[in-house]
C-alpha cells in the first residue's frame, strides 16, 4: 500500500504544486513524437472502443499506436512467450485480473510509480482515487504496488428478459439464488418450447472456472482457499454452492457445459432463456438490434444474492507498461494508458462501447445505460480476490475447469470432484512453496 | 549420411575425363552428393533435429517458462517418471488411440470407395470436378474446420440436428454430451481427411497396368476379386503412407478439436495434443511437456515401424 500511497501523494503534489495548466499531453509527448508502440487487445467491445479513440491520441501526440487483436484464450500465452523470450514485441501489456501476480512478480511490468513520480509524464489530473477502489486494487495492484490502470472492467450482472418474466407472472427479477431456483426456475422452463429459465456459461476453460464454478462459491459463503491457502472446497458453504449449481442445471438448456459467453448471450438475445449472469461488457451486444431480438425487453440488475449476500463475479483487465520496452516506448506507452483511462476520456470511452473504471464517469449516466446502477452497486460490494491472482492460478484454473465440468456432467459427485480439485490444487501450492513459507500468502 | 570424402590420388595426374586440373595436393574433394543433400540436411537439422535436441534437454530439467527467476535444475528422468505415472496423460493417450481407431478405418474405407469410384472410366467432367472438390477439405485450415464443426453441431441451429429432424429424431447435444462430442470431432476429422486418403489411393490405382486390369476384367466380373488380387497390392504403399501420416497427424491434432470443444466436456475430447498443449502453454511446464512430447515421438516411431513391417509390400 506504501507505493500506492506514494503514487497518490506524488499525483496530489503534482496537482497542487505544478498546476493543471502547466502540463499538457502534447508537450509531455513531444520527445516521443514518431515513436511506435504496440498493445495487445481482445476482440471485445472495450477494445473496439479504444480503437475508435486512439486516432485522437495519435493526432495529439504524434505517437503511433499499433495493436494486435488476440482471442482471450491465447492472449496470456502470447504475452508470456514474448516476455520469457525477451521478445520486446509488446509495449502495452494487457493484464487480466488473474495474471497480475504472475506478470508483476516476474518483473515484466513497470510499477507506475516510475511515471507518476516524473512530473514530465504524470498528468496532474491522473487521480488514482478516481478509480473504483476494487478495480485498482484487484486489476492493477500486486503486493501493494500499482502496475496497471483499470481499462476493461467487468462485473457480473444479471441480464434478464422482462417480457418473459412478466408473461410468467413475475414483476421483478429474483433477488436471491434460492428464489431463482425454487420460484422462477419451474415457471420459466418449458423444454417443449426450447425455453429455459437460466443459462450459466460453463464451457471448459476460464469460463468454467471463473464464470461458473467460482460464481456459486462466494454467495453461499464458500471460497476456493482458506486463509492458510488450504482448499476450502469441502466446507459446508462451498459444498452447498456447488450442490446448488447441480440443482439449477435442470432449468438450464441441455449442453450447458458447452456454453461459452457467446452461447449464453445469444440464448438470451434469441429469447431461448429468460436470465443470464454475464459480464457488464456484453451490454452493448445485447442492445444491438442486429444481434439481439430482446432489446426492448432487456433489463439488468445485480446478480442474485446468496446466504452470504451479494458476491458478484469480478473480472477485467488493466493496461500496464512492459519492462522490456526501451525507455522512450515505456514513456509513450504510459502516456497512452494514462490518457485512455483518464477521467477526461471516461465518458467518450463509455459512449464508444467501453466500460470505464472511473467513479465519476457514471454520474448522470444511470438513466442512459441500464447497466450502470447495478454495476456500480456490484463494484461497491464485490470480492477483490474473487479468483486468486497469484501466479499459480494458471495451473489451478485448468484443474478447476476439468473437474468442475466433470461435476456438472455427473461423472463425479460434488464431494469427490471438490476433493479432487482440492488435492491437486494443494499439490500445486505445495510445489510453489506456500506451505513452507518460501512465498508470502498473497492472492 | 552424405558426408563421404573422395580420397585424392597420392601422386600422378588426375583422371578427370573433362581434362580439368585436379584439386591441389592436400585438399579433399567433397562428393557432389554432399552438396545436393546439404541444404535438406541443414533444413532438417534446423527445424527438426535441433528442436528435438532442445526438447530432450528440457525434459531432463525442471523448467517453467512462466517462472523466469526460478532455477532450472537437472532432474534426470523425474519428468519421465511423472508423465508415466500420470493417469491424466494415459487417459489422454487412450482417448487418442480410440479416436485413431475410429477415424482411420473410416477414412481408409471411404477413401478406397471414392478412389475406386473416381478410377472408373468415362466420368469425364464430373471426375475432374470431384478431384478438385476433394482438395477443399484438405486445404481448409484446422481452426476453420473447428469453427465449421461448432456450427454444424450447434444444438439450436446446426445442420446435424436439422438432418436428424428430417428423419423424425429429436435434437441432441452434440457438443455438450461427452460421447457425442467425441463422435462430432471424429466426423469432422473424417470429413477433412477422407479426400486425402482418396487422392493417395487414386494415385495408387493409376499405377495398375491398364492391360492387366483389362485382362482381369475379361477373366472375372467380380469387382472384389479384381480389387483383392490386382488393385490392392498397388494400394499398399499408399495405405502405409496414409497410416503413418494420419497416425502422426492424429497424435498432434490440436486446432480443430480445441476450437470445437476445448477438450471438453470434462475430458471427453482431451486428446494427447490438447493435454500436452495445456501443460506446455497454459502451465508453461516445459520440462514435463517436453518429456510428454518425447514419449509421443517414441510411440509414433514404433507405430510407423509396425505399419511398415506389417502393411507395406513392394509390388
Q: What is the pLDDT of residues A160-190, one digit of tens each?
A: 999 999 999 999 999 999 999 999 999 999 9
What is the domain partition of chain B in residue ranges? 5-59, 78-310
Over residues A35-39, mean pLDDT: 97
> Do residue B282 and residue A254 have CB atoms under 8 angstroms apart?
no
Buried b (16+ CB within 10 A) or exposed e, A72-109: beebbbbbbbbbbeeeebbbbbbbbbbbbbbbbbbebb
Cell of B141: 485450415
List alpha helices for B167-220, DSSP H: 178-205, 210-219
pLDDT per residue as tens digits for the range A10-27: 544 444 444 445 899 999
Buried b (16+ CB within 10 A) or exposed e, B18-33: eeeeeeeeeeeeeeee
- Minimal C-alpha gap between A254 and chain B (Å): 7
How many Å apart are CA A190 and CA A195, to the nearest integer? 5
Name chain B contacts of A257, Cβ cutoff 8 Å.
176, 264-266
Name chain B contacts of A205, Cβ cutoff 8 Å.
262, 264
Q: Please name the residue of chain A whose CA is at the shortest distance from the CA of residue B275.
A: A398
> Do residue B65 and residue A402 have CB atoms under 8 angstroms apart?
no
How many Å apart are CA A269 and CA A164, to the nearest integer? 12
Chain A interface disruption, residue of B66, B72, B86, most A CBs within 10 A: B66
**pLDDT value of residue A19:** 45
> Do residue A258 and residue B173 have CB atoms under 8 angstroms apart?
yes
Instruction: Say if A2-146+314-381 and A155-313+389-443 have the same CATH topology.
Output: yes
How many Å apart are CA A116 and CA A338, to the nearest integer? 10
- Minimal C-alpha gap between B177 and chain A (Å): 7
B5, pLDDT greater than 70:
no
Question: Hey, CA dihedral for A297, A302, A303, A308, is it positive or negative?
Answer: negative
How many Å apart are CA B39 and CA B142, to the nearest integer? 30
**pLDDT value of residue B25:** 58
Give every CB contact of residue B34 below 8 A, 6+ residues apart in sequence.
B2, B3, B4
Q: Please name the residue of chain A whose CA is at the shortest distance from the CA of residue B174.
A: A255
Name chain A contacts of B265, Cβ cutoff 8 Å.
204, 257-258, 405, 408-409
> Do residue B284 and residue A394 have CB atoms under 8 angstroms apart?
yes
Over residues B284-294, mean pLDDT: 95
- Minimal C-alpha gap between B69 and chain A (Å): 7
- Residue-averaged pLDDT of chain B: 88
Query: For residue B155, what pLDDT band results from cuts at 50, 70 and 90?
Result: confident
Query: Which CA distances in Å does A107 have to A83, A148, A389, A438?
Result: 10, 13, 16, 18
Name chain B contacts of A102, Cβ cutoff 8 Å.
66
Name chain A contacts of B267, Cβ cutoff 8 Å.
402, 406
pLDDT per residue as tens digits for the range A212-269: 999 999 999 999 999 999 999 999 999 999 999 999 999 999 989 989 998 999 999 9
The CATH code of domain A155-313+389-443 reads: 3.40.190.10
What is the domain partition of chain A in residue ranges? 2-146+314-381, 155-313+389-443
The count of CB pairs under 8 A between chains A and B is 82
Q: Please name the residue of chain B whose CA is at the shortest distance from the CA of residue A267.
A: B156
Question: Residues B61, B37: contact at Cβ < 8 Å?
Answer: no
Name chain B contacts of A391, Cβ cutoff 8 Å.
66-67
- Please say whether the structural domain B78-310 has been given the CATH code 1.10.3720.10: yes
Pick the CATH number of A2-146+314-381 from 3.40.50.10860, 3.40.190.10, 3.40.50.720, 3.30.390.10: 3.40.190.10
B6, pLDDT greater than 80:
no
- Residue-averaged pLDDT of chain A: 91
ω into B265 cis (within 30 of 0): yes
B8, pLDDT greater than 60:
no
> Do residue A102 and residue B261 have CB atoms under 8 angstroms apart?
no
Q: Which of A73, A106, A194 sits opposite B69 (nearest CB)?
A: A106
How many Å apart are CA A243 and CA A231, to the nearest integer? 17
**pLDDT value of residue A385:** 83
- Among A25-34, B1-10, B11-20, B24-33, name the most confident range: A25-34
Chain centroid to CA B114: 20
How many Å apart are CA A136 and CA B17, to the nearest integer? 83
How many Å apart are CA B176 and CA B150, to the nearest integer? 11
B298, pLDDT greater than 80:
yes
Per the document, the length of chain A is 443
**pLDDT value of residue B27:** 62
Name chain B contacts of A83, Cβ cutoff 8 Å.
68
Q: Is some CB atom of chain B closer than 8 A to the CB atom of A79?
A: no
**pLDDT value of residue B28:** 66
Over residues A68-73, mean pLDDT: 91
A310, pLDDT greater than 70:
yes
Chain B interface disruption, residue of A74, A256, A258, most B CBs within 10 A: A258
Give every CB contact of residue A404 below 8 A, 6+ residues apart in sequence.
A202, A208, A209, A212, A213, A417, A421
Name chain B contacts of A406, Cβ cutoff 8 Å.
266-267
Question: Residues A340, A53: contact at Cβ < 8 Å?
Answer: yes
Q: Which of A256, A395, A406 sits opposite B176 (nearest CB)?
A: A256
Name chain A contacts of B264, Cβ cutoff 8 Å.
203-205, 208, 257-258, 401, 405
Over residues A385-396, mean pLDDT: 91
B18, pLDDT greater than 50:
no
Amino acid at each position: 500500500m506504501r507505493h500506492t500511497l506514494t503514487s497518490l501523494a506524488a499525483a496530489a503534489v503534482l496537482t497542487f504544486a505544478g498546476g493543471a495548466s502547466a502540463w499538457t499531453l502534447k508537450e509531455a509527448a513531444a520527445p516521443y513524437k514518431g515513436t511506435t508502440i504496440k498493445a495487445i487487445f481482445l476482440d471485445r467491445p472495450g477494445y473496439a472502443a479504444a480503437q475508435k479513440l486512439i486516432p485522437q491520441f495519435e493526432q495529439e501526440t504524434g505517437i503511433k499506436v499499433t495493436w494486435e487483436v488476440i482471442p482471450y484464450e491465447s492472449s496470456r500465452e502470447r504475452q508470456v512467450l514474448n516476455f520469457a523470450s525477451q521478445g520486446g514485441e509488446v509495449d502495452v501489456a494487457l493484464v487480466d485480473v488473474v495474471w497480475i501476480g504472475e506478470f508483476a512478480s516476474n518483473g515484466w511490468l513497470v510499477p507506475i510509480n516510475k511515471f507518476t513520480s516524473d512530473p514530465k509524464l504524470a498528468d496532474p489530473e491522473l487521480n488514482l482515487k478516481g478509480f473504483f477502489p476494487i478495480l485498482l486494487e484487484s486489476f492493477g495492484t500486486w503486493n501493494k504496488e500499482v502496475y496497471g490502470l483499470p481499462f476493461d472492467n467487468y462485473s457480473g450482472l444479471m441480464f434478464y428478459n422482462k417480457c418473459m418474466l412478466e408473461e410468467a407472472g413475475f414483476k421483478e427479477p429474483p433477488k436471491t439464488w434460492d428464489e431463482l431456483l425454487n420460484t422462477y426456475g419451474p415457471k420459466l422452463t418449458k423444454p417443449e418450447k426450447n425455453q429455459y429459465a437460466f443459462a450459466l456459461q460453463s464451457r471448459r476453460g476460464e469460463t468454467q472456472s471463473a464464470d461458473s464454478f467460482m460464481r456459486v462459491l462466494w454467495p453461499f459463503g464458500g471460497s476456493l482457499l482458506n486463509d492458510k491457502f488450504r482448499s476450502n472446497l469441502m466446507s459446508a458453504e462451498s459444498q452447498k454452492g456447488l450442490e446448488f449449481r447441480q440443482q439449477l442445471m435442470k432449468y438450464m438448456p441441455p449442453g450447458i457445459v458447452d456454453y461459452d459467453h457467446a452461447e449464453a448471450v445469444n440464448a438470451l438475445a434469441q429469447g431461448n432463456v429468460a436470465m443470464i449472469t454475464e459480464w457488464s461488457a456484453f451490454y452493448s451486444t445485447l442492445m444491438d438490434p442486429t444481434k439481439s431480438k430482446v432489446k426492448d425487453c432487456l433489463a439488468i440488475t445485480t446478480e442474485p444474492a446468496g446466504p452470504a449476500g451479494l458476491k458478484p463475479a469480478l473480472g477485467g483487465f488493466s493496461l500496464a507498461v512492459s519492462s522490456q520496452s526501451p525507455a522512450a516506448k515505456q514513456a509513450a506507452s504510459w502516456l497512452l494508458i494514462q490518457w485512455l483511462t483518464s477521467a477526461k476520456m471516461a465518458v467518450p470511452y463509455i459512449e464508444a462501447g467501453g466500460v470505464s473504471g472511473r467513479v465519476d464517469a457514471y454520474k448522470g449516466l444511470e438513466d442512459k445505460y441500464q447497466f450502470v446502477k447495478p454495476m456500480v452497486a456490484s463494484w461497491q460490494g464485490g470480492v477483490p480476490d474473487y479468483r486468486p491472482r497469484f501466479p499459480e492460478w494458471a495451473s489451478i484454473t485448468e484443474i478447476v475447469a476439468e473437474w468442475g465440468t466433470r461435476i456438472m456432467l455427473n461423472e463425479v459427485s460434488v464431494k469427490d470432484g471438490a476433493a479432487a480439485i482440492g488435492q491437486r490444487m494443494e499439490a500445486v501450492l505445495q510445489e510453489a512453496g506456500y506451505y513452507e513459507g518460501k512465498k508470502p500468502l498473497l492472492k | 549420411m552424405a558426408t563421404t570424402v573422395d580420397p585424392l590420388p597420392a601422386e600422378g595426374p588426375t583422371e578427370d575425363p573433362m581434362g580439368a586440373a585436379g584439386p591441389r595436393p592436400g585438399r579433399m574433394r567433397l562428393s557432389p552428393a554432399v552438396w545436393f543433400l546439404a541444404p535438406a540436411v541443414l533444413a532438417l537439422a534446423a527445424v527438426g533435429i535441433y528442436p528435438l535436441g532442445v526438447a530432450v534437454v528440457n525434459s531432463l530439467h525442471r523448467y517453467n517458462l512462466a517462472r523466469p527467476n526460478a532455477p532450472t535444475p537437472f532432474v534426470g528422468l523425474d519428468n519421465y517418471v511423472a508423465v508415466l505415472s500420470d493417469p491424466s496423460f494415459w487417459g489422454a493417450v487412450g482417448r487418442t488411440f480410440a479416436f485413431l481407431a475410429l477415424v482411420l478405418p473410416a477414412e481408409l474405407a471411404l477413401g478406397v470407395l471414392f478412389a475406386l469410384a473416381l478410377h472408373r472410366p468415362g466420368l469425364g467432367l464430373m471426375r475432374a470436378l470431384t478431384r478438385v472438390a476433394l482438395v477443399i477439405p484438405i486445404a481448409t485450415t484446422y481452426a476453420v474446420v473447428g469453427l465449421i464443426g461448432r456450427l454444424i453441431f450447434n444444438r439450436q441451429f446446426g445442420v446435424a440436428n436439422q438432418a436428424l429432424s428430417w428423419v423424425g429424431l429429436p435434437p441432441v447435444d452434440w457438443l455438450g454430451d461427452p460421447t457425442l462430442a467425441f463422435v462430432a470431432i471424429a466426423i469432422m476429422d473424417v470429413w477433412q481427411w477422407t479426400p486425402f486418403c482418396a487422392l493417395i489411393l487414386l494415385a495408387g490405382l493409376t499405377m495398375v497396368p491398364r492391360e492387366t486390369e483389362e485382362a482381369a476384367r475379361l477373366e472375372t466380373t467380380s469387382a472384389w476379386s479384381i480389387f483383392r488380387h490386382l488393385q490392392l497390392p498397388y494400394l499398399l504403399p499408399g495405405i502405409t503412407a496414409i497410416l503413418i501420416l494420419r497416425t502422426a497427424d492424429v497424435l498432434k491434432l490440436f486446432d480443430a478439436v480445441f476450437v470445437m470443444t476445448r477438450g471438453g466436456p470434462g475430458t471427453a475430447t482431451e486428446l494427447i495434443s490438447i493435454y500436452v498443449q495445456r501443460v506446455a502453454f497454459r502451465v508453461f511446464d516445459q520440462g514435463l511437456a517436453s518429456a510428454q512430447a518425447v514419449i509421443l515421438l517414441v510411440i509414433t516411431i514404433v507405430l510407423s515401424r509396425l505399419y511398415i513391417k506389417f502393411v507395406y509390400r513392394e509390388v
